[in-house]
Amino acid sequence: MNSARPPASPAVVLRVVLGFSLAPAAGIAQTTLSGTAAAALVVHQVDIGHGVEESRGLLLRAEAAVALSRLEVLIRAAGGSLSTSAAGAENRDVGEVSLEASVMPAPWLALRASGTSRTYATAIARQHWTLVEMGAEVRLDFTTSPVRGILRGGLLPVVSVNGLPRPDVALTAAAGIEYRSGSVTGGLLYGLERYDFPPSGATRRLEQLNTVTFRITMQRGGGRVGRL
């Protein structure tokens, strides 16, 4: 008889990814510290069967990261506001905190795991999201240029939203480009989050978050930080 198993917590998922870093690495490990400031244009869309309700806004984000050999760990905080003109809808404040770890089994590939706590708040209500993502990132270096391309995809095996069931589909994808000059790296990234919730009667909730992010990273150390 099959029995349902509870979803892994964000801490457990991150420990699994961190475990890959315990394998011995060749050469002497170099430590790289970095700080990032970013601004993201956000379009949030929700469809519960009566048309798409859309809200837009600007989110500001800050990150701090440390990279050691093949392992990188970062913490991220973001906040901003989303406004809407949809009838009956309210403007919302958004805030989130994330912890992420990535391991590079090859120079062009990073395996990623992250845990995120996100809150949408209006004047009368708050909705809290807990997300765990597992995915991969392909880094396309151009040997004769300081430009690099980024392709990213991931699944969210853990999505907990107060007041809503667990979605049937939860995924992320992103594509972008970055340019490095000395210790400064600038980047532009388009990102997508998609959540398809199970039907409730004759309706089904579909939710999507689109972002266009511009970021500047300052780093100190010998390696090249792999994040965009």
pLDDT digits (tens, 9 = 90+) for 47-58: 988 889 999 999
Residue 13 inside a domain? The answer is no
Smallest CA-to-CA distance from 33 within 186, 216, 217, 219 is with 219
Residue 89 inside a domain? The answer is yes
Residue 55 inside a domain? The answer is yes
Residue 11 inside a domain? The answer is no
- What CATH number has the domain bearing residue 136? 2.40.128
Residue 83 inside a domain? The answer is yes
Q: Write down the pTM of the prediction.
A: 0.83
Residue 31 inside a domain? The answer is no
Residue 50 inside a domain? The answer is yes
pLDDT band at 185 (very low <50, low <70, confident <90, very high): very high
The helix or strand, by DSSP H or E, that contains position 51, with its residue range, turns out to be none
- Locate 124 and state its tokens: 């009368």
Outline where DSSP puts E strands in 142-183: 147-161, 169-181
pLDDT band at 144 (very low <50, low <70, confident <90, very high): confident
Q: What is the DSSP string of 89-147?
A: ---EEEEEEEEEEEEEEETTEEEEEEEEEEEEE-SS-EEEEEEEEEEEEEEEE-TTSSE
Domain count along the chain: 1
Q: Which domain holds residue 80?
A: 39-221
